[in-house]
A and B are shown apart, each in its own frame.
Chain A
Amino acid sequence: MSNEKLEKIKKELQEDLQNVKTETFLNELKVKYLGKKGLITELNSEIKNIPNEEKKSFGMAVNEIRNLFNTSYDEKLKAFKEEELNKKLASETIDITLPSKKIKRGSLHPMTLITEEFEDLFVSMGYTVYEGPEIESDENCFQKLNIPKGHPARDAQDTFYLKDEFENFLLRSQTSTAQVRAMEENVEKKPLRIVCPGKVYRRDEDATHSHQFMQIEGLVIDENVSMADLKGTLELFCKKILGEKTEVRFRPSYFPFTEPSVEVDVSCFKCQGKGCNLCKQTGWIEVLGAGMVHPNVLQMCGYDPKKYQGFAFGTGLDRFAMFKYGIPDIRTIYGNDIRFIEQFARKDDTYEIK
């Protein structure tokens, strides 16, 4: 009799489970089968009425039904929960094409980018970045650089002098003035290795000249540095800044504060030396002035020219920025049009070491 009942309950359960469509109905089944007066619970209480030799097999059969219920229940419940969550997620769907909540994209000015690139390169070679003041004395800007008053080299650097009691002071026309300061401040007169980036000012203005622009000056003083060392240094530097294929050419020239002096040309990076508009068909572009520090300059800044010699080089940072980023007019650099500035809001990996 009990076995019949058992088979009936099992059949009923299987039918019920097939008809479960909601979580509520599933829970009602739990009460129906496993509740205090549930069908399976009742079967349990009937065990005592079963003959001893059948008890075991009956018990196993009841457990089987119970397990059937539990497994099915868990499965169904999980499926209902899953379905419910999916419904919720679906209802939360957003339009991912709407604009982002974006913070403005900041950027460093191209002159900062180029300055830092130069600084990093020289710092890695043991140079210290030395920034002097922008107001200078005539003495530091010219006289101590071997350019006495009335010297024709002053013509090339038409200078802004200050008014009234500061008539012997000026806005520096070249970063070479920082050389003078660094040498004088080095009281122990030890070897020196510096680069001096900064703003300079000249009375000049057109598409390639701005009355304010930026230069960087390099100076190395030691007992045995030579033109060959200068060339090697500039070769390395030009390759790193302008590309590994860059070649460097020395042409003798004249600067009052160096002797010997050279102009430094690099092979044209636009046409690789074949000749183009940028290099005026010569294959070369003049980028730096350099030379061995004039003994008069060493002397005036307190170094013994018999013991020490040094090399110096200088160049326009704007020129490099114009080359590197292809900016045709220097006035664009200082125009600060946001559409210009924002173009530099990214990492530049042109010369990254791979």
Chain B
Amino acid sequence: MTGGPHMADPIFIAVAVLTVGTAILALEARELIYGAIALAISMLGIAGFFLLLDAPFVAMFQIAVYVGAVAVLIIFTVMLVRTQALFTTKEDKKRKGAGIALMLIIMASLGALLLASGLNGQFGNFDNAQTVDFKQIGHLMLTYYAPALIILGLTLAGSVIAALALARREDVEQQHERTD
């Protein structure tokens, strides 16, 4: 199939609608907690795309990190901050209209650019391409990208320590020390 309009896979369309729909819901849901759950479902949809792209390893990683860690972290924070502050949605109607217009302009222009880019049909329907084995990914990570992997580990450790240091309450701790 080269160029021109084509029928996409029905599973693909279902996952696409789910992912984009829940992404919009994540931003527009009235309660932040429902938004967080919608975001988790949107990330599951992205993992579904990774499965469709024959990248099961990345899909599992996505589920483990995003749905398992990030979404739970966000839900915890939403519950910690849960007060009236979350329910006041102070939004300009004008600003919202401008935002929707900007969104549509970006969608239309980038979409037109993509359709005109010659990418359409260039890779066919992935028939010529071989799927990537996860052993290849592991090999790359431990050989060529080994320094990047080490730096990534250090970055993760640093950011976790930084997050702990940020969220610590020094005033409370000092009071406890004084009373002791």
A and B interact physically: no
- Which residues of chain B have a CB within 8 Å of any CB of chain A? none
- Residues of A whose CB lies within 8 Å of any CB of B are none
